[in-house]
């Protein structure tokens, strides 16, 4: 496959003992080195993903609290936006 088709080849350098562990693990899982590395990167990124807050909430956290609560963020809208984002992430994970 080419980069235009959504995949890019690259090389990494691993110490011999780590490469041997990778090969053994891939063999037990009946997959390739690339398959193990793809899954490892996917899991690493999911585990270390930055939490992205909705713009209204970020702005509200940066600025001093308003004198009245009616000028604060719409927490119901923020909650709905975050729940929708979570459902999208969950659906993407389920398709993998």
Short-list 53, 48, 61, CA closest to 79: 53
* pTM as predicted: 0.49
Q: What is the mean pLDDT of the chain?
A: 80
Using CA atoms, how far apart are residues 50 and 85, in angstroms rounded to an integer?
13
Q: SS3 for 30? A: coil
Residue 91 has pLDDT above 70, yes or no: yes
The residue extents of the domains of the chain are 14-49, 50-96
CB atoms within 10 A of CB 31: 13
For residue 85, is it left (φ>0), alpha (ψ between -120 and 50) or beta? Answer: alpha
Higher per-residue pLDDT: 63 or 2: 63
> For a pLDDT cut of 90, what percent of the chain falls above it?
32
The pLDDT of residue 76 is 80
pLDDT in tens, 52-70: 777 777 777 777 665 555 6
Confidence of residue 10 (pLDDT cuts 50, 70, 90): confident
């Amino acid at each position: 496959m080419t980069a235009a088709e959504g995949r890019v080849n690259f090389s990494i350098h691993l110490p011999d003992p780590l490469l041997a562990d990778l090969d053994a693990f891939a063999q037990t899982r009946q997959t390739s080195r690339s398959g193990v590395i793809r899954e490892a990167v996917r899991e690493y990124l999911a585990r270390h993903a930055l939490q992205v807050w909705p713009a209204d909430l970020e702005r509200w956290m940066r600025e001093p609290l308003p004198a009245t609560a009616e000028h604060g963020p719409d927490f119901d809208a923020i909650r709905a936006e975050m729940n929708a984002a979570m459902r999208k992430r969950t659906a993407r994970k389920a398709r993998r």
